Amino acid sequence: MVNEREIINEVTNTDNLKVETYEDLVDELLFDLNSIIDDCKVDATIFQSKTNNFKELSKAINKLEFDERIIDFFNLLLAEYKIVDFNETEVQFPNEKVIKKFLSYFCSDLKMLLLKESVVNISNYFYLNYDNHGDSDVAREMFYDFTSFKSKMLKYALEMELSESDIKGLTFTIEEYKEKIHYKIPKIAFPWYAYALCDSYKEFPAEANDKKIFIINGSCSSLKWTGRSLYSERNINVEDAQKNFKKFIKSLSEMRSQEEDKINESLNLNLFNEITNLYDLYNLNKIFNHSSHYMKIKRMNIKSKESDKRSQQRKKEVFAGVSHIAPLKHIGTKTYLINGFYKEDIFSNGKIWSTLDKIINYYKERILVAIQIPYNSESTLPEHIQKDYYIYCQIKEDRPYSEFLKVLTKKTLPVYLYSDSGMNKELYDSYFYLYQGFYEKQFKGSKSKNYIKY
C-alpha cells in the first residue's frame, strides 16, 4: 500500500491526490499526528522579552513555525474532494492564500486564549487581594470602581430586558458584594461578564464573605435541554437562544462604539461563544439556508409521509454529526472552516476537532513556558501576575474577530419560530436539531457536567 503521508509531502498545493477514501486518509493522518504533537518544538527565544515593546508578543506568535505533519492536517481540513469513481476519491489541496488565512486565525485563537487566561488570573488575584491592591494603577486600569460598575451593570440589565424582580435581585446581590465584586469583572470583557452576571448572580452564596463566587457560570449560560419533540413546550429555550444572541450582539456592538479604548469585541465574542455556542449555531444554520445544496434537496416535492419521515431523520443525523464541533472553543479557525469548508463527514468526525483543540492548547502551553520577562522588584504584584499583566498589555489591542461582529451588525439577526412556515420553518427545524445536537454532545448523559466557571 502506498503511504499517503509521503504522497502529501510530495504534492504541491495545486496538485490533486487520488485515494481510495478520504476518511482513510484522515484517519491515518490523525493516528500518526496524535503521537507526535507533544514532540513539536516552539522557538523559545522569540518569546523572551528584554524591552516590553508594544505588541512584541503578538508579533512573536505570528512567527510561529509548524511541524510539516501539522500542516498536513490543516491542509486536509481545508481540502476539497469529490468521488471520481466507485473506488477512488480525488482530493484538491488548498492554495497558499487559503492555508495562510487559516494559520492567521490559528494564531489569533492562540492570542485570545492567552488573553483570556491572563484576564481571568488577574481578576481572581485582585478579587482575593483587593485590600492590598484595590487602589493600584493596574486595578484602576483594568476595573471600574464600584459606583461606575453598578451604574453600568444596571443599565445593561435594563437593555437586556430583565424583569423588575430580576433587576431587584441583581441590585441586592451587587450591594451585598460591593466591596469586591467589581474586581471580578474586567473592563476589557465587560459586555460578556455583564451578560453572564444577569443569570449567575442567582447562584451566589448567601454570605458575601464567601470567597467562591463565579460571574461566569456555565450551568446558567450554556445550552439547556430541549426535550425530544420538535414542538415540545421546552422549545422556548430554542427561541430564547436566538433572542439572547441577538441582544448580546447588539449590546456588544453598542458598548464597543461607546467605550472603544476599553472593550475588546473579539475577546467578548470568543468568551460568549465558549459558553453559549450561540455564534456556532448561527453560523452552522446558515449552511442550511435556501441556497445550500441540502436545503434544495429538502425543498423537493415530497408527497408521502414515509418520505418526509425519512427526510426528517436524515436532517437529525446531519445535525447530530455537525455537533461534534461543539467542544472546540476557538472561534477563529472554527468560523473559517464553517463558513467556507463545510464537509459533512469531516464535521461529524469528533477526532478531528479534539486533535485541533489539542494542537492549539499544546502551543498555548509551550508559549506560556517560553515567555520570559524582566521581573520588576518594585512592583507590589507577585511574579506570576506580572507575567499575566505583561500578556494582557501585549495582546489587549488585538481584535482578530472584529470582522465577524461587523458582519453580524450589518443585518437583522433572525429569530425562527416553531409557528413559521416555508423556508423559515425549515430553518427553525435545522436550528432546533443543531441546538439539540450541541447540547447532547456536551452535556446529556454526563454524570458530572463539565460546565466552565470563573
pLDDT(8) > 50 = no
79 closest CA partner among 42, 25, 142, 122: 25
DSSP string, 238-262: HHHHHHHHHHHHHHHHHHHHHSTTT
Coil, helix or strand at residue 83: strand
219 closest CA partner among 379, 439, 451: 451
pLDDT class of 18 with cuts at 50, 70, 90: low
Average pLDDT for residues 94-111, to the nearest whole number? 95
pLDDT(98) > 70 = yes
Helix boundaries (H) for 288-349? 293-298, 305-322, 331-340, 344-347
- φ and ψ at 11, to 5 degrees? -85, 160
Query: pLDDT value at position 169?
Result: 96
Q: Which three cell numbers stand for residue 69?
A: 505533519
Q: Is 304 exposed, middle or buried (0-12, 13-18, 19+ CB in 10 A)?
A: exposed
Query: pLDDT value at position 304?
Result: 45
Query: pLDDT value at position 204?
Result: 92
Q: Which three cell numbers stand for residue 452?
A: 466552565
Between residues 297 and 157, the one the model is more confident about = 157
pLDDT(85) > 90 = no
Helix, strand, coil percentages, rounded to 5, for the chain: 65, 5, 30
Query: pLDDT value at position 74?
Result: 93
Which residue carries 450554556 as its cell? 222
Q: Which three cell numbers stand for residue 295?
A: 436545503
Q: CA-CA distances (angstroms) from residue 381 to 49, 114, 181, 245, 377? A: 18, 19, 20, 38, 9
Contact between 362 and 67 (Cβ < 8 Å): no
Lowest pLDDT segment from 29-38, 299-308, 346-355, 432-441: 299-308
Residue environment code for 157-186, b if the CB has 16+ CB neighbours within 10 A, otherwise e: beebebeeebeeebeebbeebeebbbbbbb
Residues 6+ apart with CB under 8 A from 383: 375
Cα–Cα distance between 414 and 199 in angstroms, integer?
A: 23
Contact between 277 and 223 (Cβ < 8 Å): yes
pLDDT(59) > 80 = yes
Query: pLDDT value at position 3?
Result: 39
Query: pLDDT value at position 441?
Result: 86
Q: CA-CA distances (angstroms) from residue 276 to 6, 101, 188, 199, 241? A: 41, 26, 19, 13, 9
Euclidean distance between the first and the last CA atom of the chain, given in angstroms as a whole number: 50
Coil, helix or strand at residue 445: coil
pLDDT(156) > 90 = yes
Residues 6+ apart with CB under 8 A from 114: 364, 367, 368, 391, 395
Q: What's the pLDDT tens digit per position in 268-327?
A: 999 999 999 999 999 998 877 666 555 554 544 334 445 566 667 777 777 778 888 988
Average pLDDT for residues 140-151, to the nearest whole number? 96
pLDDT class of 424 with cuts at 50, 70, 90: confident
Q: What's the pLDDT tens digit per position in 164-214?
A: 999 999 999 999 999 999 999 999 999 999 999 999 999 998 777 667 799
pLDDT(267) > 60 = yes
Lowest pLDDT segment from 218-222, 225-229, 302-306, 309-313: 302-306
- Give the mean pLDDT of the chain: 84
DSSP state of 309: H
Q: CA-CA distances (angstroms) from residue 217 to 109, 197, 198? A: 22, 9, 11
pLDDT class of 84 with cuts at 50, 70, 90: low
Query: pLDDT value at position 302?
Result: 38
278 closest CA partner among 167, 439, 400: 439
Residues 6+ apart with CB under 8 A from 261: none
Q: What kind and span of H or E run contains 213?
A: none
pLDDT class of 20 with cuts at 50, 70, 90: low
Query: pLDDT value at position 152?
Result: 96
Query: pLDDT value at position 45?
Result: 83
Average pLDDT for residues 358-381, to the nearest whole number? 90
pLDDT(69) > 80 = yes
Lowest pLDDT segment from 115-124, 141-150, 250-259, 280-289: 280-289
- As a whole-number percent, the residues of the chain with pLDDT over 90 amount to 50
Between residues 89 and 9, the one the model is more confident about = 89
